[in-house]
Amino acid sequence: MKCKDDTTTINLPLLLRHAATVVLVLLAAGLLPGNNALCSPEIDRIAKERKKLEKDIVGLQKQLKEFQVKLKKTQEEEKQSVEALKNYNAQIKVLEKMIAKNNARLRAQNREITILKKQYAENQSTYQRIVDEFRGVVVNVYKSGSKQPVELLFASSSLNQAVVRSRYIGLFSEAVIRRVDNLQQAAKELEKSRTELEKSRQRRSNVLREQEGQKRNFSEKKKEKQVALNTLKKDEEKFAGEIQANRKKLQKLQKKIEELIKAEQAAIEREKERQRLEEERRRKAGLAVLADSSEAALAALSTDFSTAFGKLPWPVDNGVIVRKFGKIHDPDLNIVTTNNGVDISVSSGSPVRAVSGGKIAQIAYLPTYGNIVIIRHAQSFLTVYANLAKISVAKNDIVAGREVIGLAGPMPEGGSLVHFEIWKGKAKQDPQKWLKK
């Protein structure tokens, strides 16, 4: 190839190498304009989802540790008991939830990696296209200019001198500068996407290792539980006695809650009767019938339960249901019990919140199940919160949805638990079907 006066041969590879060197030096020194960071709404959404899952897992790990500490202490002080079996069952439930959360994290990680791979490939393509364009521009500059200015530029003793000389000789026209800017932006975006992809792959690798550990722990707990059960069953008299004692505790709780529910339902009926009589009196007197102010007040702050099925917030964060609603057959103890609500395992001292706004209708206390709080809502709905270590409300208080009403109390078998029920008039509901999935 010849320059325009046909007197000197151009070493094109050398020229391109020098040009690339100058550009890379300028980029490294940060003397060229910045770029827009790699951005994707989907990546941001996945990152938030992942952080939420990681926070949930930390809460579950805390619960698991509390159960393990209690179990170790129990084993040091006495032989295996029904309480130890409950502890194992709770740990297994928590581990199942952790494994499910980790699976969700892995799915989010896979989506993130797929998006980042696509971005990386697109950035590689963009970068290569701009590099090719830049090569063409530099060649054109060299062909249309003289050899001496270019040699002067590459003979510069410092970066600053090179920049000053390039401006002085006008080597980098506006077109070249724009392509240099584009090249810088493409290079940084390429490196950004590559780095993020590598980080995402590393995070996924860490989650996989964590998942494997959780599955091993799950298997070990099941084996330990079976050993504890076999040991306990050898002492039939003790085993039968503990089963009977546990049954009585559950029955006492259910009986107390049902008494409180009946008392509140009777109060509601009395209010309705008073309202009916007042309406009848006003009609006879030729006065306008007024709406029920108490019910209107409840409706103003309460969730509309007619549209809340499957949407109610949980009364606790990071809760794990360890005992479901209805008749439950315990294969370990070989007994059938009835649960009017759900038992939710949480970390010790976790805040317990009202699932909907309402009025504190009943408060009671049981030595074996701590404080009991019943909240009245619109449409004859009642929610029950039992085993509260501390309560922060009083009877007849008005509470807002998600307001803290107390703290989760400890259980003899370890960890903390909140017993939660939902009633519609005299009909008990399955809370798990009402709560958000």
Domain positions in the chain are: 12-232, 241-434
| 32: amino acid identity, one letter | L
What pLDDT shows up at residue 4? Answer: 40
- For residue 162, the number of C-alpha atoms closer than 13 Å in the C-beta half-sphere is 19
What are the tens digits of pLDDT across the range 396-431? 999 999 999 999 999 988 889 999 999 998 899 999
d(CA 202, CA 65): 26
Q: What angle do CA 399, 339, 430 make, to 5 degrees?
A: 60
At 232, list the tokens.
Answer: 């306990």
CATH 1.20.120 matches 12-232? no
pLDDT at position 393 is 96
- Global pTM reads 0.74
| Residue 14 pLDDT class (50, 70, 90 cuts) | very low
206 has a pLDDT exceeding 60: yes
Inter-CA distances, 228 with 73, 92, 233, 238, Å? 15, 14, 9, 13
- Contacting residues for 180 by C-beta, under 8 A, at least 6 apart: 23, 26, 32, 134, 172
Query: Phi and psi of 342, rounded to 5°?
Result: -130, 150
Nearest to 392 by CA among 403, 381, 402: 403
What is the residue-averaged pLDDT of the chain? Answer: 82
The confidence band for 27, taking pLDDT boundaries of 50, 70 and 90, is: very low
pLDDT tens by residue, 150-199: 565 566 666 566 656 665 555 455 656 666 677 777 778 888 888 888 98
Give the mean pLDDT of 26-35: 40
Inter-residue contact 100 to 113 (CB < 8 Å): no
Q: Is the pLDDT of residue 12 over 80?
A: no
Give CA–CA dist 37/350, Å, rounded: 40
CATH of 241-434, one of 3.30.750.200, 2.70.70.10, 3.40.50.720, 3.65.10.10: 2.70.70.10
The pLDDT assigned to 36 comes to 41
Question: So what's the pLDDT on residue 139?
Answer: 66
Residue 371 pLDDT exceeds 90: yes
Residues ≥6 apart with Cβ < 8 Å to 240 = none
